[in-house]
Structure 1
Amino acid sequence: MKVLYIDSSVQGNNSFSRQISSLVMEKLSAAYPDADVTYRDFAKDPVPHLTEAHIMAVQGMNAEHEPAIKADLALGGVLLEEFIESDIIVLGTAFYNLTVSSAIRSWLDRVIIVEKTFRYSAEGELQGLMGGKRVILCISRGGMYAEGHPGAAIEHCESYLRAIFSFIGVTDIDVVVADGVTIGPDHRQQALEHVREQIEALSFRDPKS
């Protein structure tokens, strides 16, 4: 069992999404005590954004790579391998300007790769290659964006992550979400209680069984 555990909030110990992901990992670790866990903190060690030089190198248009490009390509290879080999991905993210952080987007740009995690058939049909994985999204949102609230129409964090993982064939997606965490202490406490209820409802099994 391989687990890829990701945090990305820039708020450190004050982060609600980190609190959610930590609680999820507590339950997951109890279920799979021998799990091989890889941890990434994209706030402390951000993934560089893609550059023209990177794209040219990947496409074989620039045979002579500068040391920085070689290091960048090597990092991309490690991130991709970690993702492909993982059985479960626990992804913690806050809600930044209606969507995911740029840190998460930079990571996704390194793992959503044609012929690696998805491909197109000769007829142009999309084929996701990452079926069998489980993704647990741990999301905190400052306001109210859940279904039934006016903000739901402009929620592009959970909806985007669901779409991008579905794009590569992941169908087993759980979401643990906290809404209204910056409205006030009462809302924050209610959100934490709701998070605990959602985590209690999570079940863990061997994804390869």
Structure 2
Amino acid sequence: MNILRIDSTIKPREASVSAGLADRVLARLTAADPKAVVTTRDVIGVPAIDGNWLGAVFTPADQRNADQVAIAAYADELLNEVRAADTLVIALPVYNFAIPAQLKNWLDQLARKGETFRYTEAGPEGLLKGKRAIVALSSDGTQLGSDIDFASGYLRHMLGFFGITDVEFVAADRMAFGADETLARAHEAVDQLAA
């Protein structure tokens, strides 16, 4: 099994609840499959897409200038990591009710017509099918699935848009209202995951 771990916390890793939950998820998965290969991508520093990115990834490879070659190569590297993965483990801290900007940058880098999705007469079709995603969500005050949770629904939608529809959440949400109890429930949810 190939596992791609995505980190998006702005905190030091040892202080991050989402990173700690992702550690626990990975421990469960690798205990079940000791031969699993884990690739880690910290999306802090992944650049936002812009006009130069658009020009690079949609210019045929043999017509790209040197700057476009570099931009497209980076985007391809991110995409190839996802393509190679059987399972994605995404550490998701909720910031201001939504996903971190850097995680959105990563998703935007992946959103490429003809690579991760295509349009059909029946609507969009994701091209990264057959993968599983486990999302380790943490928040101080936002409850998973509540009216103010704009993080989990968006991430689930984007993964589904890419064809990744097997998405599970383990949540240490509303940490400000009882961190120990919340974390214990999250750990129990990880321990119940099918490995």
TM-score (norm 1): 0.86
Residue 99 of structure 1 deviates from its aligned partner by: 0.7
Q: Residue 70 of structure 1 corresponds to which residue in structure 2?
A: 69
Structure 1: gaps spanning 5 or more residues: 205-209
Q: Residue 133 of structure 2 corresponds to which residue in structure 1?
A: 135
Residue 6 of structure 1 deviates from its aligned partner by: 1.1
- In 2, the alpha carbon distance for the partners of 1:55 and 1:167 equals 19
**Percent of aligned positions that are identical:** 31
| 1:112-151 paired onto structure 2 within 5 Å | 112-121=111-120, 123=121, 125-147=123-145
Q: Deviations over 1:89-143 (max 9, x none)?
A: 000021011110011011111212211111112x252212222100001110111
- In 1, the alpha carbon distance for the partners of 2:117 and 2:138 equals 29
Mapped pair 1:177 → 2:171: yes
Mapped pair 1:164 → 2:158: yes
- In 1, the alpha carbon distance for the partners of 2:114 and 2:24 equals 35
Question: What is the letter of the counterpart of residue 180 of structure 1?
Answer: R
Q: Residue 187 of structure 2 corresponds to which residue in structure 1?
A: 196
Mapped pair 1:23 → 2:14: no
Worse-superposed segment, 16-25 or 71-80: 71-80
Mapped pair 1:109 → 2:100: no
- In 2, the alpha carbon distance for the partners of 1:164 and 1:130 equals 11
Question: What is the letter of the counterpart of residue 20 of structure 1?
Answer: L
Q: Residue 10 of structure 2 corresponds to which residue in structure 1?
A: 10
Check conservation: 2:2, 2:86, Cα contact below 8 A.
Answer: yes
Residue 66 of structure 1 deviates from its aligned partner by: 4.6
How many equivalent residue pairs? 193
Q: Deviations over 1:39-65 (max 9, x none)?
A: 11123xx2111121121222229x563
Residue 153 of structure 1 deviates from its aligned partner by: 0.7
- In 2, the alpha carbon distance for the partners of 1:144 and 1:108 equals 22
Q: Cα distance 1:189–1:42, how it changes in 2: closer, same or farther (>3 A)?
A: same
Residue 158 of structure 1 deviates from its aligned partner by: 0.7
Which of 121, 137, 149 is 1:155 aligned to?
A: 149
TM-score (norm 2): 0.92
Q: Residue 34 of structure 2 corresponds to which residue in structure 1?
A: 33
- In 1, the alpha carbon distance for the partners of 2:169 and 2:64 equals 44
Q: Cα distance 1:167–1:144, how it changes in 2: closer, same or farther (>3 A)?
A: same
- In 1, the alpha carbon distance for the partners of 2:191 and 2:64 equals 53
